[in-house]
């Protein structure tokens, strides 16, 4: 047997995840020509796993998103209940912050497991991935649009260095005008920080004029950013499919 040291980072990258619906192993490898950049091993593997779920099991992917938000709401419910009952000093009420999330969470867990079983039962081997067109991007629910699929041209971008880097490189080479436009969007950060500081100063020193001005400015800036964002996305999508 060889005594050469094993590259643990490569092992983590090539270790397969098993799809909980169809059982297909999902794996990826670190490309030898790409630098590591200090990224946590397995990032691309998890992204490949999520892309697989979006392509082949969008219902399961959406169900897990709903479960995530439901658990977050239950945790917040427990925190708020604790904040309410703690000052009362009544010992009987002290179990409510734990009891309420449990009473609501157990039926939720049973329902989740039942729906997962139904999704597995309905799955048939040989099914093709869900087909979505970039023309229907605005009509397609987010969980059905694969995260590595370019929303401008519809091309599937292979994951090599991570989702963000690979999509950015694709847009930079295939859609340079859109890439330059999206980079200019960072102009919003300085005025947003200034308005946020004004808002915080107004709240701390109870200056209604400053607080109101900061809040109104943030709302106006938010509306402008959303409007320009939708306009730009639609503009470059139309240019691509003209």
Chunked in runs of 10, what are the mean pLDDT values of the chain (242 residues)? Answer: 42 63 75 46 75 85 90 90 77 82 92 92 77 61 72 79 81 83 77 82 77 83 81 67 51
93 three-class SS: helix
SS3 32: coil
What tokens does 97 get? 């912050």
Q: How many residues does the chain have?
A: 242
Instruction: Give residue 222's pLDDT.
Output: 85
DSSP 104-173: HHHHHHHHHHHHHHHHHHH--TTPPPPP--GGGGGGS-GGGS-TTB-TTT-PBPPPSS-HHHHHHHHHHH
Domain residue spans of the chain? 178-241
| pLDDT of 204 | 75
The residue among 226, 222, 176, 161 whose CA lies nearest residue 13 is 161
For residue 2, the model assigns a pLDDT of 41
Q: Are 133 and 154 a contacting pair, CB within 8 Å?
A: yes
Per-residue DSSP letter, 31: -
Here the tokens at position 229 are 């964002």
Which residue, among 206, 203, 60, has the nearest Cα to 122 in the 3D structure?
60
Predicted pLDDT of residue 133: 60
Residue 174 near residue 155 (C-beta atoms within 8 A): yes
pLDDT score, position 72:
92
For 49, the 3-state DSSP assignment is helix
Note whether 53 and 60 are within 8 A (CB): yes
Contact between 43 and 30 (Cβ < 8 Å): no
Q: Specify the pLDDT at position 144.
A: 64
């Amino acid at each position: 047997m060889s005594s050469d040291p094993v590259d643990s980072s490569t092992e983590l990258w090539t270790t397969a995840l098993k799809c909980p619906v169809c059982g297909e192993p999902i794996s990826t490898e670190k490309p030898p020509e790409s630098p590591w950049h200090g990224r946590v091993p397995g990032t691309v593997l998890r992204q490949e796993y999520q892309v697989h779920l979006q392509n082949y099991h969008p219902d399961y992917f959406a169900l897990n998103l709903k479960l995530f938000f439901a658990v977050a709401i239950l945790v917040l419910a427990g925190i708020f209940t604790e904040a309410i009952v703690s000052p009362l000093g009544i010992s009987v009420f002290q179990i409510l912050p734990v009891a309420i999330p449990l009473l609501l969470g157990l039926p939720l867990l049973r329902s989740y497991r039942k729906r997962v079983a139904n999704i597995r039962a309905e799955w048939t081997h040989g099914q093709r991935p869900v087909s979505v067109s970039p023309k229907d991007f605005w009509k397609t629910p987010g969980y059905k649009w694969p995260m590595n699929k370019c929303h401008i041209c519809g091309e599937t971008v292979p994951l090599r260095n991570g989702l963000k880097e690979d999509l950015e490189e694709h847009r930079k080479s295939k859609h340079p005008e859109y890439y330059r436009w999206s980079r200019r969007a960072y102009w919003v950060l300085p005025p947003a920080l200034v308005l946020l500081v004004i808002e915080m100063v107004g709240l701390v020193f109870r200056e209604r004029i400053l607080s109101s001005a900061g809040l109104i400015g943030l709302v106006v800036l938010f509306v402008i950013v959303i409007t320009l964002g939708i306009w730009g996305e639609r503009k470059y999508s139309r240019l691509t499919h003209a």
